[in-house]
């Protein structure tokens, strides 16, 4: 079994990004790449994610603009802020940390972000581009998964990739990316019948369900490549959607939790922000 070490790879890619940005600033010191991060309310997990994103920006030389808004923020207040950030030349990327409080209409808020600043790839415009296979900002977690596979020289073309979970953030965009890489893709969800029969037929299995230790050894084919997206807190520690100790001997490759997909997600956000800078500059 080989561990797919997302922490190590993401550190390596962060250094590559930092080098690229410092060369850019040396050429033209008037330019700065900027990312606006909006957090609404006081969800503890979201606060930690935002803090990690800001720290990562600082590390590579991206200027971050943080907006911590109170839980009672209205749709209109949030839309006004996004309008201002859309017009602000210092801001190349806008990220609205999800989930938003239930009274806020998430789809309306995301649709307001200028597609050229949509570094999360959640606006309908970017989702559309991805679906028809055109250049787009790719959502960070699926992009991180593909990067993790490719940088570890894992072949995707012709393989049967099974995704468990069909969220807009992970499962659906990942399906598009795997198709573009010529995998044969099956996507499963809570209404899928005979799930084990399908997971057993996977060469590459990606699990994004949000249920601790959901995937067990008897659901896997020997030699599977297992990517565990899940982040679940159990008794004060983080565990994935796969039962790591139970499944590891069945896997040719497996991502750990923590230290697998999570760090890759943040690093892809930095990459998308740099891409957004160039997209705007070359408009």
- Using CB under 6 A, list all residues that contact ligand NAP: 141, 164-167, 169-171, 188-192, 195, 208-210, 229-232, 261-262, 265
Closer to ligand NAP by Cβ: residue 200 or 280: 200
Cβ 38 to ligand NAP, closest distance in Å?
A: 18
- Positive or negative, the CA dihedral 11, 15, 16, 17 is positive
114/129 Cα distance (integer angstroms): 14
Placement of tokens 């939790």 in the chain: 257
Q: Classify each residue of 49-85 as buried b or exposed e, where b means 16 or more C-beta atoms within 10 Å of its C-beta.
A: bbeebbebbeebbbebbebebeeebeeeebbebbeeb
> Which residue, 42, 35, 40, 77, is CA-closest to 58?
35
Q: Half-sphere exposure of residue 279, counting CA atoms within 13 Å on the CB side?
A: 18
Cβ 231 to ligand NAP, closest distance in Å?
A: 4
> CA distances (Å), 251 to each of 4, 139, 245, 276, in order?
11, 26, 11, 37
Closer to ligand NAP by Cβ: residue 145 or 183: 145
Closer to ligand NAP by Cβ: residue 85 or 178: 178
Closer to ligand NAP by Cβ: residue 18 or 195: 195
- The residue sitting closest to ligand NAP, measured at its beta carbon, is 167
- Return the bridge partners of 162, or none: 186, 205
Point out the catalytic residue in the list 114, 118, 120, 241: 120
Cβ 265 to ligand NAP, closest distance in Å?
A: 3
**Catalytic residue list contains 83:** no
Closer to ligand NAP by Cβ: residue 108 or 233: 233
Report yes or no: 180 and 142 within 8 Å, Cβ to Cβ: no
Cβ 268 to ligand NAP, closest distance in Å?
A: 9
Cβ 27 to ligand NAP, closest distance in Å?
A: 33
**Catalytic residue list contains 76:** no
Cα-to-chain-centroid distance, residue 160: 22
**Catalytic residue list contains 97:** yes
What is the set of active-site residues? 53, 97, 120
């Amino acid at each position: 079994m080989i561990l797919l070490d997302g922490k190590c790879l993401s550190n390596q890619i962060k250094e590559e990004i930092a080098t690229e940005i410092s060369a850019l600033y040396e050429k033209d010191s008037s330019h700065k790449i900027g990312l606006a991060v909006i957090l609404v309310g006081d969800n503890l997990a979201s606060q930690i994610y935002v803090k990690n994103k800001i720290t990562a920006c600082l590390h590579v030389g991206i200027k971050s603009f943080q907006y911590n808004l109170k839980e009672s923020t209205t749709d209109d207040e949030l839309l006004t802020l996004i309008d201002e950030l859309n017009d602000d030349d210092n801001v190349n990327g806008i990220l609205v940390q999800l989930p938003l409080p239930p009274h806020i209409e998430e789809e309306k808020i995301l649709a307001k972000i200028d597609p050229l600043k949509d570094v999360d790839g959640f606006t309908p415009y970017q989702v559309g581009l991805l679906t028809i296979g055109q250049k787009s900002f790719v959502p960070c977690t699926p992009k991180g998964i593909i990067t993790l596979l490719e940088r570890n020289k894992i072949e995707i073309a012709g393989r049967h990739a099974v995704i468990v979970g069909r969220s807009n953030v992970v499962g659906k965009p990942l399906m598009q990316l795997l198709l573009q890489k010529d995998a044969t893709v099956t996507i499963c969800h809570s209404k899928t019948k005979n799930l084990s029969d399908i997971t057993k037929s996977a060469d590459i299995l990606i699990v994004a369900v949000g249920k601790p230790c959901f995937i067990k050894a008897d659901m896997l084919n020997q030699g599977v490549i297992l990517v565990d997206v899940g982040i679940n807190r159990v008794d004060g520690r983080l565990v994935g959607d796969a039962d790591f100790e139970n499944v590891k001997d069945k896997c040719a490759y497996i991502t750990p939790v923590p230290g697998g997909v999570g760090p890759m997600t943040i690093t892809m956000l930095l990459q998308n922000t740099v891409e957004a800078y160039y997209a705007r500059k070359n408009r």
